A and B are shown apart, each in its own frame.
Chain A
Amino acid sequence: MKTRPIHFAALAAMALVPAGLPLPTGLGMISDAGASPIREPQDAPKKKKKTIGTTKEAAPVELTPESVAAIQALANARQLTPDDLLAAAKTYVPSGRHDDYLLFSSGGHSGQVFVIGVPSMRLLRTIAVFTPEPWQGYGYGTGEDVLAGGDIPGQELRWGDTHHPALSETKGEYDGQFLFIGDKANARIAVIDLRDFETKQILKNPITMSDHGAAFVTPDTDYVIEGGQYAVPLGSGYAPGEDYQKTYRGMVTMWKFDRQAGRIDAAKSFALELPPYFQDLFDAGKLTSDGLFFGNSFNSELATGGVELGKPPFEAGTTQRDMDYLHVVDWRKAEAAFKAGKAKPINGFPVLGMDTLIADGILYLVPEPKSPHGVDVSPNGEFIVVAGKLDPHVTVYSTTKLRKAMANGKISSKDSYGLSILDFDACTEAQVELGLGPLHTQFGPDGYAYTSLFLDSAVARWTLGGDYASMHEEPSWQLVSKTPVQYNIGHLSAAEGDTVSPDGGYLVAMNKWSIDRFFQTGPLLPQNFQLLDISAPGTAMPVLYDSPIGVGEPHYAQMIKADKLRPWAVYPEIGWDPVKGAIDPAAPKPGHEKVVRDGNKVDVYMTVVRSHFTPENVELNEGDHVTWHLCSQERTVDATHGFCIAGYNINVSLEPGEAATIKFVADKPGTYPYYCTEFCSALHLEMLGYMRVKPATQSAVAAGK
């Protein structure tokens, strides 16, 4: 008998494909914190849209005579030029569409990180880092352990001056997995996981008190670099100012990053002792300069201030000499020296002394025009651009020449600490005059570099030479154009503009002053992030959009292609502890909610789901030590609950699936409602309960009976 297997198989295949066999719904395969942090792409296994229609296929847009007339009328009514209209069209992101890029911006002294969409410049989120933030529950019941990681003995530190965010990199490209950021004010470093955009770790630098070159990563994120700023005696002990040269020191710390764990491993980290030259920014080499990192400095004068004593103030003292020092560090040699046990502990933290740095050829100095600010490595790794700040030039060093000079011992002199100073002319490739107050440099895909000019209040586009010479029409090492920005630009951030393959297209000017750009919000004004269109070569580089930043004073930002990130829409499983990055075995489960008392220790196990807490009444006695376990049972995107307890300074955020543990002492008798602080449902108001704390006198009476 003839069967028809082929026919049936075809039928079955046809049946399977349109049937859309249900996708595995659980993200249950995720069980540990770090393993290959990129897992489920948010939109790759995206459930197919179950609604009908609404496809957004790119069809040619036709402007009808009526719509042209409407635009014309609007332009007249609002006094918009054609350039204005184009700028608006380039930045407008219609509802429901997403931005192409994400700008991860320092939040300055807000101690936070801002996530801003580009080109819309909409603020998408803040990430609480060094500062408690109630919406995220950070420091109001949860996150205390993370924050405490940055404390110093005897002092909680609850603000930070975030300066330089650094996205994790793989082969010199942003990989979208982690973000690091430094706190200049207290020399701390934080690790943020970009699956849930939450701070996972804060580390206090054990040997110094302020940093600036933080954070920068090596091309594969083996190390997160934290360069110090204002020198102190290493270990931050007391030493009189007269001992500055002898006992004060700069430093750079190499924090070993454990990508698997998603944390810095302090036990495998170490620092380098540097002369007290006020190291400033750092950048890691890549490709041809891989294995090196670079940092600059602005106090080779060893000024100690003292304007109150009639001595030159720091601003004058640090600017006396024509040259400061670019620091060139061979970090692979430093790593080898550390592994060979050459580091000495300071405050329990291993530090490679300057004698080792000299003996092992780890650190070289190169003269640089005085008081520079940015030091930025070109995408191919060959050029190191130092911006003069007090010099109208950027000075471009060549990696090839630096390596040659180090190998051949092209030493022009030694500093007072015995460090070798390489010959300036032997190491430089070019000096390009750009204008007044050059600070920082970013790169495009087309051989252009972009430098912020603080005093000129402009962004300069200029040409690189070497392998880049053929990529642009203009001659190499030449200013191409300047676009005025409003006002006084600090950092600037081009799309992936500090990676091995910049994207071009967009550049954000991070302007320190806004003066007249926005409504006068009293005497304290926002900063102004201006979006520039750098997609066309040549002189055209128009400003598209002004975006006020009314929270803190951001410094640096990095702009990453949005589709590189793989954030979670909900936590992988119910009971997820975001800090541990794993299921919390103590997370309350439905049907097992309870209050367990052991003497004056009380454990509350509470589940949270729309629109009720279970239990809804919790009876405590004054003085109880309470551990309150919460667990969201939600699996739906954006079904977030809050949980606050009146009178106890507690508010936590419970994102779908999240487990949280709050600890406090019930030391204030009374009746305290708790409720959901997120508008989670139509019955959000009804999502409440009561915590009652019985006064000690009454509970004693009750116990006596």
Chain B
Amino acid sequence: MIGPRVGAAELDRDRTRFALPALALAAARILLLSSVFLPYWSMVLEAPQYPDGLELVAYVNRLEGDVGEIDGLNHYIGMRPLNEAASMERAASVWMVIAMAVFIELAATIRSKWAALLALPVLMYPFGFLLDLQFWLWSHGSNLDPRAPLSSSVQPFVPPALGIGTIGQFRTLGVVKIGWWFACASSAATLVGLWFHRRAYKPLHDAMRGGGSRS
């Protein structure tokens, strides 16, 4: 336990004040860890000859959906296989998520403003995910094999990670999925947790700085 101690009497008098940051940060951990099992993002590809559409679904550690068929189509324009994208991120993702959860756990036990620093990764995580995704979409779309059959008719392109794009006869629609929203909710819970954390412990710090110790 780092930071000022809470007197038994005060703890007894104001139980909620000290429980709330712990609860919020616990919720953040649960949300973050469960997001690993849920899809973060998907892209639906529509074309006349695919009446049911094609779908690419991204989890933090794997790609699912019509990966084979999309790769098959992509070979015509010289795009690298989808599973060559973000391989490092996907391999590390579960450990990174666990690490972030541990950081929040630690943050809950540190009764100082440094707790905010530990919470920083999880606060940035959902946006980092989308940025990384867009980077790989750019990377794949911009580095097409010039010897591919359709290399002369399809110029390098960057599919938008979110919203509607067009490539050839395909219309693409990128959307975030429930896993990403779990990560977002985890960030929000962390933020709320930090606010409660400040409310709970800042008075103690202020009191200590004021020079008097309380009973």
Contacts and interface: CB of A to CB of B under 8 A. Distances in A.
A443 B46 CA distance: 47
Interface string B6-50: 000000000000010011001100100010001100001010000
A636 B69 contact: yes
Contacts of A19: 38-39, 177-179
B34 A50 contact: no
Nearest to A610: B72
Contacts of A611: 76, 149
Given A22-B65, A50-B44, A15 B72 contact: no
B178 A18 contact: yes
B68 A49 contact: no
Contact of B76 (A2, A22, A683): A683
Interface in B72-101: 72, 76
Nearest to B168: A682
Nearest to A15: B178
B149 A683 contact: yes
B178 A49 contact: no
B53 interface: yes
Interface string A11-34: 010011011011001000000000
Contacts of B38: 15-16, 19
In this complex, which of A12, A634, A686 has the most chain B Cβ atoms within 10 angstroms of its Cβ? A12
Interface in A592-610: 609-610
B44 A51 contact: yes
In this complex, which of A1, A12, A25, A50 has the most chain B Cβ atoms within 10 angstroms of its Cβ? A50
A2 B16 CA distance: 11
A576 to B, nearest CB: 16
A3 B53 contact: no
B64 A22 contact: yes
A78 interface: no
A97 interface: no
A674 to B, nearest CB: 19
A327 interface: no
Given A50-B44, A51-B44, A15 B53 contact: no
Contact of B52 (A3, A51, A682): A51
A51 B51 contact: yes
Contacts of B57: 22
B149 A49 contact: no
Contacts of A21: 39
Nearest to B59: A22
Given A50-B54, A683-B149, A15 B19 contact: no
A167 to B, nearest CB: 29
A211 B39 CA distance: 60
Given A50-B44, A611-B149, A686-B149, A635 B68 contact: yes
Contacts of A16: 38
A3 to B, nearest CB: 7
A49 B30 contact: no
A1 B19 contact: yes
Binding site secondary structure of chain A: loop
A614 to B, nearest CB: 13
A572 to B, nearest CB: 15
A44 to B, nearest CB: 15
A12 B34 contact: yes
A22 B34 CA distance: 16
Contacts of A634: 72
A238 interface: no
Nearest to A49: B52
Contacts of B149: 611, 683, 686
B30 A8 contact: yes
A26 to B, nearest CB: 11
B182 interface: yes
A101 B180 CA distance: 45
B17 to A, nearest CB: 14
Contacts of A610: 72
A47 interface: yes
Nearest to A634: B72
Contacts of A636: 69, 72
Nearest to A14: B178
Given A19-B178, A51-B44, A1 B22 contact: yes
A374 B65 CA distance: 53
A51 B46 contact: yes
A87 to B, nearest CB: 30
A609 to B, nearest CB: 7
A1 B52 contact: no
Given A15-B38, A635-B68, A1 B23 contact: yes
Contacts of A50: 44, 46, 52-55
A2 B23 CA distance: 8
Given A19-B179, A686-B149, A47 B52 contact: yes
Given A1-B23, A636-B72, 13 more contacts: A12-B34, A19-B39, A19-B179, A47-B55, A49-B52, A50-B52, A51-B52, A51-B53, A609-B72, A635-B69, A682-B76, A683-B149, A686-B149
Q: Which 9 A-B pairs have the closest CB atoms?
A: A50-B53, A19-B178, A22-B64, A51-B53, A15-B178, A50-B44, A50-B55, A636-B69, A49-B52
24 contacts: A1-B23, A2-B23, A3-B26, A8-B27, A15-B34, A18-B178, A19-B38, A19-B39, A19-B178, A21-B39, A22-B39, A22-B57, A47-B52, A47-B55, A49-B52, A50-B44, A50-B46, A50-B55, A51-B44, A51-B51, A610-B72, A634-B72, A635-B69, A686-B149
